[in-house]
């Protein structure tokens, strides 16, 4: 049995002040949520502020990206050690928006994962197919390639994988629980076939998750939680998703 895991990806939203307001409202709303792991991924500029406010709550803190080099002349980039010093325990790597707008390839994702893990950060690896790929019946082929290439020479035990179909992100079009479950089952089989003792690796679903649909998603055996974008920006709706994962699991 894997513990449900609900993660907020705020993307490029919220200032420091807004981060403080969110966290102060959110903490009391999830005080009854033992049994669910919770994580928040604010923008880099709010990590330190969030870290202070989240202390002793058990809520984990992630960055949304990291660079694969350790330090040096890489203007604008952020290293794993910088994230640790800002209070992060986790980092999201390979989000489809990074792949789409910043040309991140599986090779870059692989290097980022290696550096993050070497430095002791927990990793949430995002994978998922586009609408064209799904319509061309290439979903499993795409997932297999992303898993194989992103995890080359990496043991994913201790990591989390987020299945985020690109066509469901920010569109209001959630994958049906059956579509999500089918992809999760494929990922689970890939893990079973390629990685020893990987049954504790959690697989999250991401793409238009809301308080209304979390219940039907989390009841699927291979869906261990959710990576939430839009609905994580409001403390009430994100808390409802956390509590929905607890009730249904």
Q: Which residues are catalytic?
A: 95, 164
Residue with smallest beta-carbon separation from ligand 13P = 229
Give 225 or 230: the residue with its C-beta nearer to ligand 13P. Answer: 230
Give 39 or 83: the residue with its C-beta nearer to ligand 13P. Answer: 39
Q: Which residue stretch of 29-37, 135-143, 145-153, 226-234 sits at the interface with ligand 13P (rule: CB under 6 A)?
A: 226-234
Find the shortest distance in angstroms from Cβ 8 to ligand 13P.
8
What is the token pair recorded at 202? 């959690």
Dihedral angle over CA of 32, 38, 44, 47, nearest 10: 40
| 164 contacts ligand 13P (rule: CB under 6 A) | yes
d(CA 111, CA 228): 25
Q: Are 60 and 42 in contact (CB under 8 A)?
A: no
Helix (H, G, I), strand (E, B) or coil at 87: coil
Question: If 0-12 CB within 10 Å is exposed, 13-18 middle and 19+ buried, where does residue 89 land?
Answer: middle
| 115 contacts ligand 13P (rule: CB under 6 A) | no
Question: If 0-12 CB within 10 Å is exposed, 13-18 middle and 19+ buried, where does residue 229 land?
Answer: buried
Lay out the site mask for ligand 13P across 20-39 (x = CB under 6 A, - = otherwise): --------------------
| 245 contacts ligand 13P (rule: CB under 6 A) | no
Tell me the site size for ligand 13P, rule CB under 6 A.
14
For binding to ligand 13P (CB under 6 A), which residues are involved? 9, 95, 164, 169-170, 206-209, 227-231
């Amino acid at each position: 049995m894997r513990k449900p895991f609900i993660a907020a990806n705020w993307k490029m939203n919220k200032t420091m002040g807004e981060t403080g307001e969110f966290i102060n409202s959110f903490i009391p709303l999830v005080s009854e949520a033992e049994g669910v792991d919770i994580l928040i991924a604010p923008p880099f500029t709010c990590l330190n502020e969030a870290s202070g406010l989240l202390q002793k709550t058990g809520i984990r803190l992630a960055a949304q990206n990291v660079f694969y080099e350790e330090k040096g002349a890489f203007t604008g980039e952020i290293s794993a050690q910088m994230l640790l010093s800002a209070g992060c325990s986790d980092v999201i790597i390979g989000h489809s928006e990074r792949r789409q707008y910043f040309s991140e390839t599986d090779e870059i994702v692989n290097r980022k994962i290696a550096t993050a893990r070497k430095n002791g950060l927990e990793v949430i690896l995002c994978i998922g197919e586009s609408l064209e790929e799904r319509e061309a019946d290439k979903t499993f082929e795409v997932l297999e390639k992303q898993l194989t290439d992103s995890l080359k020479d990496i043991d994913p035990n201790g990591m989390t994988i987020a299945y985020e179909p690109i066509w469901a992100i920010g569109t209001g079009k959630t994958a049906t629980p059956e579509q999500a479950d089918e992809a999760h089952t494929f990922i689970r089989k890939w893990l079973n076939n390629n990685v020893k003792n990987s049954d504790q690796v959690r697989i999250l679903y991401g793409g238009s998750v809301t308080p209304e649909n979390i219940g039907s998603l989390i009841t699927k055996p291979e869906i261990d939680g959710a990576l939430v974008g839009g609905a994580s920006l409001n403390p009430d709706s994100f808390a409802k998703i956390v509590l929905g994962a607890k009730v249904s699991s």
